[in-house]
């Protein structure tokens, strides 16, 4: 799982700004995904998770709620690593 790092977490977020999936992110974190890794564009999971959902932030309320949970999970995980 560590080899997947940040690349897998945004994908688990279903194209991180579209539908999002807290359960998938949680499973990746529990599996040891490395949040310090960057994707090919140089973005970390936390950076991608904090970006707006949908076009111009117009994501559904469900997607926005999932986004909040994902950001919270990532922050808690990062704080445990410090």
DSSP 38: -
What confidence score (pLDDT) does residue 10 get?
Answer: 58
Q: What total of structural domains would you count in the chain? A: 1
- State which residues form the domain around 66: 5-81
Note down pLDDT in tens along the chain; length 82 residues.
444 444 566 555 544 445 578 888 888 888 888 888 888 888 888 888 888 756 655 577 877 888 899 999 999 998 887 7
Say which CATH number the domain at 12 has: 1.25.40
Q: How would you label 63-74 residue by residue, b for 16+ Cβ within 10 Å and e otherwise?
A: beebbebbeebb
What confidence score (pLDDT) does residue 56 get?
Answer: 56
For residues 40 and 1, the answer to whether their CB atoms sit within 8 Å is: no
CA of 80: how far to CAs of 10, 35, 55, 68, 77, in Å? 20, 12, 33, 18, 5
Full-model pTM: 0.70
């Amino acid at each position: 799982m560590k080899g997947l790092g940040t690349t897998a977490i945004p994908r688990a977020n279903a194209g991180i700004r579209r539908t999002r999936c807290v359960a998938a992110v949680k499973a990746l974190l529990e599996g040891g995904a490395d949040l310090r890794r960057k994707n090919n564009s140089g973005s970390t999971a936390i950076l991608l998770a904090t970006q707006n959902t949908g076009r111009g932030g117009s994501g559904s309320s469900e997607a926005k709620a999932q986004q909040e949970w994902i950001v919270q999970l990532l922050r808690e995980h990062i704080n445990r690593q410090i």
